[in-house]
Amino acid sequence: MTKSLATLTAELRRLRVLQTLHNSTEYTADLEVLCDYLVVGMMLLIEDVGWLTDHGLIELDQVDGVTSLRLTRLGKDVAMGRERILGVRRPEPQLS
């Protein structure tokens, strides 16, 4: 079965969110900063954040009106390619 371009793009965006959180201090990032960093529209990012939260890959924190995302253990495993979740693109293997 062939996936649509929209599906492939969403899967890649979700992987990029997980990888960005994996590479950030304490596995966290502010939603607005992440939006700017990934150069993606806020509505698309909010949809992906909801999807990732529903699947247990990230958790959300709200402090003083600021939304922060935190990577879960499962999210870290998916970002590193140790686990697979349908709906998130699998990362490319690391070349040594």
Distance of alpha carbon 51 from alpha carbon 48, whole angstroms: 5
- pTM value? 0.92
Distance of alpha carbon 59 from alpha carbon 21, whole angstroms: 11
Asked if 29 and 68 count as a contact pair (C-beta separation under 8 A), the reply is: yes
Phi, psi of 70 (to 5 degrees): -130, 130
Domain ranges within the chain, ordered by starting residue: 9-79
**What pLDDT, on the 0 to 100 scale, is given for residue 93?**
81
Tens of pLDDT, residues 59-94: 999 989 999 999 999 999 999 999 999 999 999 887
Domain 9-79 has CATH 1.10.10.10: yes
**What pLDDT, on the 0 to 100 scale, is given for residue 94?**
74
pLDDT over 90 (residue 5): yes
Tens of pLDDT, residues 14-53: 999 999 999 998 999 999 999 999 999 999 999 999 999 9
**What pLDDT, on the 0 to 100 scale, is given for residue 95?**
67
